[in-house]
């Protein structure tokens, strides 16, 4: 079994994989695309920004002796913000869906587009059970 605190790094691992894959897939069309884990001030959205927020993981797969964390239900919320168009926000969100499906996540909330005074947004959520020895990069 993996390190007993393996679950504390899941969000960082997902962020690293997603950032690398999104920039690889979208850099030609969106050369200024940024991916981060910090919500930005609305005035900072001059480039498309993908905000990855890890929601509280929930333990799954407990054993009778409850001796360790063997699996967690991981939920990630993605918020895409851009100042260009709703179509751009949705295109980037749809690529996020593709990448999360590649990591075997379920889409628990499909991308929802919104227009606000600070820009164009698309929000979606992803969920899956991740075991201690799962490799997300496959």
For the chain, percent of residues with pLDDT exceeding 90:
72
Rounded Cα distance between 120 and 84, Å, is 7
Give the tens place of pLDDT for each residue, 4-48: 788 899 999 999 999 999 999 999 999 999 999 988 765 565 679
**Residue with the two structure tokens 């050369």:** 31
pLDDT at 121 over 70: yes
Mean pLDDT of 121-130: 97
Task: Using the structure block, give the residue that is written with the tokens 């393996």.
Answer: 6
Helices marked H in 1-132: 10-26, 86-102
Average pLDDT over residues 104-125: 94
Segments making up each domain of the chain, as ranges:
6-131
Contact 83, 120 (CB under 8 A): yes
What is the rounded CA–CA span in Å between residue 36 and residue 77? 12
Q: Work out the percent of the chain whose per-residue pLDDT is above 70.
A: 93
Overall fold of domain 6-131: STM4215-like (3.30.2000)
């Amino acid at each position: 079994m993996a390190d007993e605190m393996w679950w504390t790094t899941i969000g960082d691992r997902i962020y690293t994989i997603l950032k690398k894959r999104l920039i690889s897939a979208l850099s030609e069309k969106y050369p200024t695309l940024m991916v981060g884990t910090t919500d930005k001030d609305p005035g900072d959205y001059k480039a498309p920004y993908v905000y990855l927020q890890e929601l509280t993981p929930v333990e799954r797969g407990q054993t009778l002796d409850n001796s360790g964390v063997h699996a967690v239900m991981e939920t990630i919320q993605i918020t895409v913000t851009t100042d260009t168009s709703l179509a751009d926000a949705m295109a980037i969100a749809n690529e996020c869906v593709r990448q999360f499906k590649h990591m075997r996540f379920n889409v628990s909330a499909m991308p929802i587009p919104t227009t606000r005074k600070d820009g164009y947004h698309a929000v979606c959520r992803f969920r899956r059970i991740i075991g201690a020895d799962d490799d997300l990069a496959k």
